Structure formats: C-alpha cells, structure tokens
Amino acid sequence: MGTTSKALSLLALFSRSSPQIGLSDMARRAGFNKATTHRLLTELAEFGFVEQIGSSRAYRLGPAFLRLAALREATVPLREIAGTVLQDLSRATGETTHMSQLEGGTLTTLAYAYSDAHGTQVRMEDATALMLHATSSGLAVLAFSPPEFIDQQLQEPLKARTAQTVTDPDRIRALLPEIRQRGFAVSVGGFELDVYSHAVPLFDAKSQCTGAIAVAAPTARMDDTLKTTIRNALFHHTNRLTRLLGGFPPPGFPTGETD
C-alpha cells in the first residue's frame, strides 16, 4: 500500500459514530504503527483534510472537505448524479426508474430513465408532482418523515387518482410501520392504473428523508422473480445515491430484500 492509499485509508475510518479519533486509536484501527500514523495525519492536516481539536488533540475531518463538497455540488448537478444511478438501475431491472425530491410538502419527479428490455414500459413526464398517499415514492417518504409532517399531509381530504387509490388516512397510516420495517414501499395502480411500483427513500447528511427512487413496471409483468430483482437492485442503487449525495440512512435502516 502506497503513501497516498495509506492516508486515504485513515480518512475512511471517520464515520457518524466515530467523528473524532485519537492518534493511538487511529493507529490501532488502521493497523499502522503510531509513528507512521502521526506522519500521515500531519501531512493530511497541512492540506486541511484533518484537524485536531480539544484538549485530547483528537482528529476530525478538516475544512478542506467543505470546499471540495461545495465545488462538487456546483460542478456536478444533482440530476446528473441521479441520472447515472437511474440508468444503472434500469439496466439491472429492465424497467422504468425515477427519482423524486421533496420540497416542502411537494414530491416532484426530478429525473428518470428507461430500459430497452421491453416494448411496453411505464412512461414518465418531467416535474410530475407525485401524490404522497397514492405512489410508492410518496408512501416511502411518509414512512420516514416526522409524525407532524405525516399528520399535516393526511389531515386534508385525499384525492383519488384512480379507482385503486387509497384515500382513507387510517389505512395509509396502517401501512407506514411495515414500510419502515422493510425499507421499501409498494403501490399497485394507486397513481396510474396497471402500474406496479416499488420505492426506497433517500436521506441527507442528517438522515432525514429527502425523496425516493422508484422502479415502475406494468402490473402484468410483475411476478415474484421480478419483485425480488427490483427490490434488491433498488436497495443497492438507492443506498448508493444516498452516499453519493453525502447522506446517511438512519440507524437500523434495512440494507436489502427482507421478504
């Protein structure tokens, strides 16, 4: 392992549960001797990638990451990042994929991708407002939102988009604990007839739900094999996008298919 790789491996040791690490602990976790660890940390500190704080002189990530994160945000738009992930997810599932973002109480389609695996596919439109109670994306967002947000969204009369849209607030509330347990939501015909969709929520740096990624397929094509394929791929790629955007799933969030 070269010097650069060793230094980067030290940065990878920081996490939400370990935001500050002392020199001895860092050396132990990295498997390096103390002198080597100190030299690498000193070099990282010179460029602002780590800094020492408090009387313990423990290390934490430095301000250089703020500058780099701001630069990345300015040069790599969210839709571009999401588009790459959605294309990979469409190839993995053979179905239409889309990402939605929550702004206030509105969930809006931000990006989508199609697969050429089938002649018949679910079609999307730019900036479509997705009903929180009638879509898998909306249900995924509701399940991982604060109680006051859920109350606010379900207190108004809920409109039926199709004959299969659930509009009873109590029935919707009853769905949320299972969605939280499994990590994904399902909607069959709630927003568009003959469409079967799965969705997994996205999270920001504070583990707050910011939107969702969904896979939508014709109901006639949805069998047990496709369900398993979609759920496994959806977990993988949604967690991937959460990480790319600097987010973290909340503690205990499922990491894969739970059926």
Contact by Cβ (8 Å): 109, 192: no
Q: How far apart are CA 244 and CA 255, in angstroms?
A: 16
Which class is 3-67 in CATH?
Answer: mainly alpha
For the chain, what percent of residues have pLDDT higher than 70?
97
Q: Where in the chain is the domain with CATH 3.30.450.40?
A: 76-244
For position 76, what pLDDT does the model report? 59
Class of domain 76-244: alpha beta
**Cα 95 to Cα 167, 183, 185, 208, 222, distances in angstroms:** 27, 20, 17, 28, 11
Provide the pLDDT for residue 258: 43
Question: For the whole prediction, is pTM greater than 0.85?
Answer: no
Q: What are phi and psi of 189, to 5 degrees?
A: 70, 10
Q: Which residues contact 110 (CB under 8 A, 6 or more apart)?
A: 78, 79, 82, 99, 100, 101, 211
State the pLDDT at residue 213: 98
Residues of the chain within CATH 1.10.10.10 domain(s) are 3-67
Range from 80-89, 122-131, 249-258 that averages highest in pLDDT:
80-89
Please give the structure tokens belonging to residue 4.
Answer: 């650069």
Q: What is the pLDDT of residues 52-93, one digit of tens each?
A: 998 889 999 999 988 887 776 676 578 888 999 999 999 999
